[in-house]
Structure 1
Amino acid sequence: MTKRTSIPETAIGPPVAASDPLGTLCQVLFSSEETEAKVDARRTVSGMAQRPWQQLPAKLRGAVRADVRRLRDGKLSREDIIGRGYSFAVAEQALRDIGQGGA
Structure 2
Amino acid sequence: MLTIQKRKSYLGRLVVPALTSAVLAYFATHAETGQYGSEAKAALQRQLAERKAEFAELTARRDALEHRVRAMKDGTLEKDMIDENARRALNVAREDEIVILR
Q: Larger relative CO (CA 8 A, sep 6+): 1 or 2?
A: 1
> With structure 1 as the length reference, what TM-score do the two structures score?
0.28
| Structure with the higher fraction of residues in helix conformation | 2
| Greater Rg over alpha carbons, structure | 2
State the TM-score, normalized to the length of structure 2: 0.28
